[in-house]
Structures are given as structure tokens and as C-alpha cells.
Amino acid sequence: MTDATTRLWDDTVLPFQLDASDIRGRVARLDGVLEDVLRQHDYPPAIEALVAEMALLTALIGQTIKLRWKLSLQVRGDGPARLLATDYYGPTEDGEPARIRAWASYDRDRLDEMTAANRNPFDLVGSGYFAILIDQGPDMAPYQGITPLAGGSLSACAQTYFAQSEQIPTRFALAYGRSTLPGEEEQWRAGGVMLQHMPKASPLLKDEGGSGQGGLLTAEDILSDDEGENWTRANVLLDTTEEMELIGPQVSPADLLLRLFHEEGPRVFESQPVRFGCTCSPDKVRQSLSIYSAKDIAHMTTDEGIVTADCQFCGAHYEFDPATLGFEATKEPDDA
């Protein structure tokens, strides 16, 4: 197999459907995208792992939504990994790639203490919440759904979100890490599969809550007996996936689906390319500072007489004349 062939499915999300089981899904491969996301920062390995998992979840979830603009995932906790944030921007035109960016905030001192004890990276988040935010544009009301952190991984939190907030049984199988191919430098590779049982009607849920952690809903609380059998069978098949099949590069997403679900009638659709992309700009920074008075802007001004700002997602550095900032600005910016 040529190198060109192995790269056909890099940085793509492939939608599919299992006709025999009323299950839909996505296969994601993030290679250059994840490399671009993580090279913007010097994260410790445990934080890199959390960001990689979040980026994969974002690519898979973003591609399931009829998105006009932006999907955001956020995880906030009281542990040393304080915030994980990702954005997925839908394609602006047919054939255009979707774009992903990701960022993490963490307490290095507390992180060093916990990682020294070989803790699961998810333990670094602590107690908190998992949130999905959908912004369809300036003329549409944004949507926000929040569920508690539960299940021992970010993937499990996402599964809980869909069961609790959307009543859609959902399953993720993810793999990510640094990989070295013959004749190439070491780089990040990541892949995953998302399964969702296609909803038919509003489920009749138990008044006493679900069977999951803290009374949260699970797939078993939502599906009927026949649906549950189909769901269980698909999950058992997904459990046979090996890490290298998820990451590639030798196994294509279509070949993986055929190997896993050939008896379920897999049907694939057009894949969606994904790229790293950030939307920051001088104008957006000015907009974010437009709520501040001249006095506030003066407190932000350095000894050199400028106001600086850095994009947390891509690392872009901006410098401004303070007279052009805030609602009391006295000058027009040079790049206006």
C-alpha cells in the first residue's frame, strides 16, 4: 500500500449507518489536525491526552449536528485540569473542511503531585460538569446542555450527556497517541468510532431516575427490549476493535466498518474533511474589550504603552494602542 493511499482518510470523519440495527455512527481520524492543535502549546503528557480525547469527541459530535456555525465542548472541574475547551466550526460551503481548535487550562503544581502518583488523566479533572454549546449564528438563540462529570473518562461523560440530555444511546471507542511510521518523524495520530441508536419516539423514562452513576440515565434506561438487543450486539462488536485499527494508518475507516459490522448492513456516506483552524483576529479582541472603560484599559496597559492579548487556542499575539480600545476609545485602529 502506498503512502498516498494511507493518507486518503487522514483528518476525515466518515458517517455511516447500520441498516439492520437502526444505528448511525461516525469514524474519525485526526492526524495532522491533532498535531496542529497540540503543537500550539507545551502541555504535560496527561493534559495532552485529555486534549486529544476532547478533540476526537468534538470531531465526532460536531459532524452529527446540522451545524450552521459553531459547536463547543467544555469540561470544567475542581482538579488541576481546570478547563478543557474545544470548538468545531461547520463547513461554510459544500466541499469545504470543518475546523477544530482546542485549549486547556491547568494548575501545574497540583498536576505534578497527582501525575507522580500515576493517576488516570481523567482524575485530574475532579468534580465538575460536561457541557455542549451550539451556536447557530447571530440571529439564533444558542443552545447549552450540561451534565455532571461521571463514568471515569471524557468519553463516558459524553455518553452520559446524550443519554441524559438527548435520550439518545451513544457509545464512543477512541484511541490516540504518538506514532512513528517508517521514514517519518513521530507525530500524533488519533481515531475513534461513535455509535448512536436512531431515536424513533420519546422514551417512557422511569420517574425514579436512571441506573447510572448518581441516578443519571444510561442506554438501558432508554431502549426497548428489541432495541436493547441490537444496541448490545453493536457494542459487543465494537469492543473487538483494536487500538491500531482505530488509529490506522493501515486500516481505512470503511474497511474497519466492514470488519466490525458486516452482518449489520453498514452503509457509508460522504466523508467530511477536518482541519485545525482558529477564528481569532484583532477585531474580535477589540470587541471583547469594548465593554471596558478608559480607566480599565489603562490598568491593562503595559509600561511600554501597549495592551497585549494572546489567543489561548492558537497562540497568536496581539498588541494594541490603548486609545483604540474600550467604549471610550479616542482613535480608530490602523487596521480598521
Q: State the CATH number of the domain containing residue 47.
A: 3.55.30.10
**Does the residue 170 lie in any domain?**
yes
Q: What is the residue range of 114's domain?
A: 8-276
- The string of pLDDT tens digits covering residues 146-203 is 999 999 999 999 999 999 888 899 999 999 988 766 667 778 889 999 999 987 654 5
Residues 222 and 294 in one domain: no
pLDDT at 259 over 50: yes
**Does the residue 330 lie in any domain?**
no
Residues 286 and 138 in one domain: no
pLDDT at 5 over 60: no
Residues 239 and 292 in one domain: no
Residues 162 and 52 in one domain: yes
Please enumerate, as own/partner, the contacts of 140-149 that have beta carbons within 8 Å and a separation of 24 or more: 140/68, 147/216, 148/214, 148/216, 149/75, 149/77, 149/125
Give the integer Cα–Cα distance in Å for 61 and 28. 10
**Does the residue 331 lie in any domain?**
no
Residues 270 and 286 in one domain: no
- The string of pLDDT tens digits covering residues 278-288 is 888 888 888 88
Other CB atoms within 10 A of residue 302 CB: 10
Average pLDDT over residues 249-269: 91
How far CA 326 is from CA of 288, 301, 304, 336, in Å, comes to: 9, 12, 19, 15
**Does the residue 2 lie in any domain?**
no
**Does the residue 158 lie in any domain?**
yes
Residues 291 and 257 in one domain: no
Residues 224 and 288 in one domain: no
How far CA 212 is from CA of 91, 148, 159, 305, in Å, comes to: 36, 12, 11, 56
**Does the residue 1 lie in any domain?**
no
Residues 245 and 305 in one domain: no
Residues 267 and 306 in one domain: no
Sign of the CA dihedral with 307 first, then 311, 314, and 320 last: negative
Residues 251 and 269 in one domain: yes
**Does the residue 334 lie in any domain?**
no
Confidence at residue 60, expressed as pLDDT on a 0 to 100 scale: 96
Confidence at residue 219, expressed as pLDDT on a 0 to 100 scale: 74
Average pLDDT over residues 53-63: 95
Closest CA to 69 of 89, 94, 93: 89
Of 276, 291, 316, which one is at a domain's C-terminal end? 276
Domain count along the chain = 2
- The string of pLDDT tens digits covering residues 138-159 is 778 888 999 999 999 999 999 9
Residues 77 and 219 in one domain: yes
**Does the residue 335 lie in any domain?**
no
- The string of pLDDT tens digits covering residues 321-331 is 999 998 888 98
Residues 254 and 316 in one domain: no
Confidence at residue 112, expressed as pLDDT on a 0 to 100 scale: 84
166 three-class SS: helix
DSSP string, 188-224: EEEEEEEEEEPP-S-----TT--SSGGG---HHHHS-
